[in-house]
Amino acid sequence: MAIQASAAVTAGDTNALLRLWRNKEARAVIIQILTLAILFAFFAYIIDNAIQNLARLGKTFSFSFLEQPASYDINQHLISYTSQDTHLRAMTVGILHTVLVAVCGIVLATAMGYILGVLRLSKNWLINRIVYCFIEFTRNVPVLLHILLVYGIIVNVLPVPRQALDWSKTAFLTNRGVFIPKPVFEDAFVWTLVAFFAAVAVVWAYRRWARKVQEETGKIYPVLWPGLAIIVLLPTLAFWVSGSPLSWEVPALKGFNFQGGMVMRPEFLALWLALSYYTSAFIAEIVRAGILSVAWGQTEASYAIGLRPNRTLQLIIIPQALRVIVPPLTSQFLNITKNSSLAIAIGYMDIVATIGGISLMQTGKEMESMIIVLSIYLAFSLIISAFMNWYNKKIKLVER
């Protein structure tokens, strides 16, 4: 009797498990739990294996090397830096360089891509063909070759400092970089900044008011020129009232190179320009596809009510095309940020060249250095994706 009771209990448990597995929701939860368990076990195995291998080599897993002196120079830096600073300071310089080239590249590539995308649809045959050839050539050549090409042109074609191309003896173009005057701010300049941000707030409020009036009454108030006037005139007035608290440090030729002012090194220029026009070719096709996705009847209707072509593009076509343009545009922004890692090929000291290059070789902390580099790029990608997803939700069409 005991054996039969035990068999009945076992059969009941089996039937309960089968019923649980046949339940769709329960089965989904079980599969997810098993998947997470397998993933955690895999990562635990990888980490344990790495720790054992490091122990065999006599190494420890630690980020304390970041506090050690870097002992290498960086030819251009946005913050103060010397070879006696720590690897952490060098890493910060590299991060700022990566952010600088990524932001500048995104801005320039977006502007170029928009213009090229619109010109690609031009009815002028010559302009259309020129843009088409540029896009096809650019997209079908690896980006690294573009970077090396632009860098070679800057270094070998532009003149040496003693024969620099100048503009009014204040800005100089050479194969060692572009030298421009450096602004020197005084304490009172803070009032100009306050006036600038106040002007931006006024323009933003005016733009919202103009849009609300347009939606309610259909009357269009100009926004661009009044907004530019406010942004320019209000800070200018504050600048003069506060006594012009700004002077300029003009670069001067001393010896074999220019001293003073601000300089954009050939490495930054080459990386910035190459990444920008390379990515703009892809953005141009995205813009073209977005514009073509809007039915031609929308354009005909706007012409029927008297809108000019430029206003039709601004008010009718682009707002509707953005729902097609923005999602793939996010990928291009991510590509610019990640492709900036190719900077090491021309000696631009970004995050890969600093903590992932020289610091790694000096300290022998391969795993720690790569974890830092991968985490930083992951953070950049998540920030860009989050912002673009927010913008995509903001401009999406809302059905009534």
Q: What is the CATH number of the domain that holds 289?
A: 1.10.3720.10
Choosing from 196, 216, 249, the residue where a domain stops is: 249
Do both 270 and 343 map to the same domain?
Answer: yes
Tokens representing residue 175 in the block:
């194969």
Domain-located, residue 74: no
The verdict on 282 and 388 lying in the same domain is: yes
Q: Does residue 67 contact residue 90 with C-beta atoms inside 8 Å?
A: no
Q: What is the pLDDT of residue 143?
A: 94
Whether 291 and 243 map to the same domain: the answer is no
Is the same domain home to 139 and 282? yes
The verdict on residue 177 lying in a domain is: no
pLDDT score recorded for residue 237: 92
Same domain, 242 and 389: no
Kindly state whether residue 170 falls inside one of the protein's structural domains.
Answer: no
Whether 255 is covered by a domain: the verdict is no
In a domain, 346, yes or no: yes
| 190 and 307 together in one domain | no
> How high is the pLDDT of residue 398?
56
pLDDT for res 318: 84
Domain limits at 291? 87-157+263-395
Domain contains 400:
no
Are residue 319 and residue 343 in the same domain, yes or no?
yes
Give yes or no: residues 240 and 267 share one domain.
no
Does residue 69 sit within a domain?
no
Q: Which helix (H) or strand (E) holds 262?
A: strand 262-264
Q: Do the domain assignments include residue 168?
A: no
pLDDT at residue 397, as a whole number = 63
- 234 and 299 belong to one structural domain: no
Angle subtended at Cα 78 by Cα 75 and Cα 83, rounded to the nearest 5 degrees = 45
The answer to whether 107 and 88 have CB atoms below 8 angstroms apart is: no
Cβ neighbours of 245 (radius 10 Å):
15
Q: Give the total number of structural domains in the chain.
A: 3
Q: What is the pLDDT along the chain (400 residues), one digit of tens a residue?
A: 445 545 544 555 567 777 777 777 888 888 899 999 999 999 889 888 887 887 887 777 788 889 999 988 888 888 888 889 999 999 999 999 999 999 999 999 999 999 999 999 888 899 999 999 999 999 999 999 999 999 999 999 989 888 888 888 888 999 888 998 988 888 888 999 999 999 999 999 999 999 888 888 878 888 888 889 999 999 999 989 888 888 888 888 887 888 888 888 999 999 999 999 999 999 999 999 998 888 888 888 888 888 887 778 877 888 888 888 999 999 999 999 999 999 989 989 999 999 999 999 998 888 889 999 999 999 999 999 999 999 888 877 655 4
Other CB atoms within 10 A of residue 255 CB: 8
| Co-location of 220 and 273 in the same domain | no
Among 202, 200, 206, CA closest to 222:
206
Same domain membership, residue 368 and residue 280:
yes
What is the rounded CA–CA span in Å between residue 110 and residue 128? 19
At residue 9, the pLDDT reads: 47
Quote the pLDDT of residue 12.
Answer: 55
Q: Are residues 196 and 124 in the same domain?
A: no
